[in-house]
Amino acid sequence: MKIEKLSVRNKLIIFLVMFMILLSIPVLFTKASKKIDYKLLEKESLSISSILENNSFFSKWKENDEVLDMPIRRDLSKYKNKKVIAFTFDDGPKAATTNLLLDGLDKYDAKVTFFIAGTRVSSNKEVIKKAYLAGHDIGSHTYSHKNLFQLKNKNIQEEISKTNESIKSIIGVSPIYLRPPYGNVNKRINSLTDMYIICWDVDSLDWRYKNRNKIKDNIVKNAHDGAIVLLHDIYEESVMGAFLAMEELEKEGYAFVTISEMVELKGVNLDYDSVYYQF
Ligand code: ZN
């Protein structure tokens, strides 16, 4: 049958039929695609996520994320109506006893502050990083624990800057809190640094007694809202004494916070000219 021989009417009919078939093709495809195989989709999305994870760009991104580790920051709203106390630990770190302390603090929902001696930084990098990432404060206790009263200005600044640099090389940030050795501070020392000077008003006398129960008693009987407690994380008895004190103070409604958390909770505007013994 040759097309020229068809009547005009038949040509029109053939044209219409072909036109209808053409029109129906997209409709047929749409219907087919609406039949969703959820199991297949699930499989596909799983494989997509595994591709993303194994893709070098994304895994590099993940690695970098780990390099840029950020310390834990607590939501302080739950401590707003509590008495707060800041346990501070000087002269460390010392791997064995500082780790003992770090491992036990979670039980009391406690964050503390370390005033680190510069000479101890290079041999305790891991524990410093661990403490920092767990949300504890890292402060400076100067480099070689000298009596600052007896040093020249230049040497005091050296004691401070050397420590700050070595701590920064481990955790990426320079400490902002300074505890002068023996609590020896005056206007001259204050004027030499732009760090906040933090002393204490509750002395556990741990270095003298090295006895966990005596240390605990010294802390508990002098504790008050806003107190700063002095301890040393280089003695096991100090660490155990701190835990015993926290056990009792927790029952009295205390929360255990870092200096930074204390400052935030008390709404204090710190300045470089003051010496802080409590908040
Ligand atoms: Zn000290």
By C-alpha distance, which of 220, 274, 214 is closest to 238?
214
Are 82 and 270 within 8 A, CB to CB? Answer: no
By C-alpha distance, which of 187, 189, 168 is closest to 178?
189
Distance (Å) from CA 172 to ligand 1 centroid: 24
Which positions are catalytic? 90, 232
Distance (Å) from CA 145 to ligand 1 centroid: 6
- Is this prediction's pTM over 0.95? no
Q: How confident is the model at residue 30 (pLDDT cuts 50, 70, 90)?
A: very low
Backbone dihedral region for residue 91 (phi beyond 0: left; psi -120 to 50: alpha; all else: beta): left
Distance (Å) from CA 107 to ligand 1 centroid: 27
- Average pLDDT, stretch 175-199? 97
By C-alpha distance, which of 86, 255, 84, 101 is closest to 179?
86
Q: Name which of 35-49, 74-88, 117-131, 232-246 the model is least confident about.
A: 35-49
Are 129 and 102 within 8 A, CB to CB? Answer: no
Does the pLDDT at position 239 exceed 80? Answer: yes
Distance (Å) from CA 142 to ligand 1 centroid: 9
Distance (Å) from CA 82 to ligand 1 centroid: 30
Express each pLDDT in 4-29 by its tens digit.
566 777 777 777 777 676 766 655 55
Q: How confident is the model at residue 47 (pLDDT cuts 50, 70, 90)?
A: very low
Q: Taking the CA atoms of 261, 265, 269 and 273 in sequence, report the sign of the dihedral they define.
A: negative
DSSP calls for 116-155: E-GGGSGGGHHHHHHHHHTT-EEEE--SS---GGGS-HHH
Does the pLDDT at position 56 exceed 60? Answer: no
Instruction: Record the tokens describing residue 168, joined without a space.
Output: 């920064």
Distance (Å) from CA 30 to ligand 1 centroid: 77
Does the pLDDT at position 255 exceed 50? Answer: yes
Q: What percent of the chain lies above the pLDDT cut of 90?
A: 75
- According to DSSP, residue 68 is labeled T
- Average pLDDT, stretch 74-85? 96
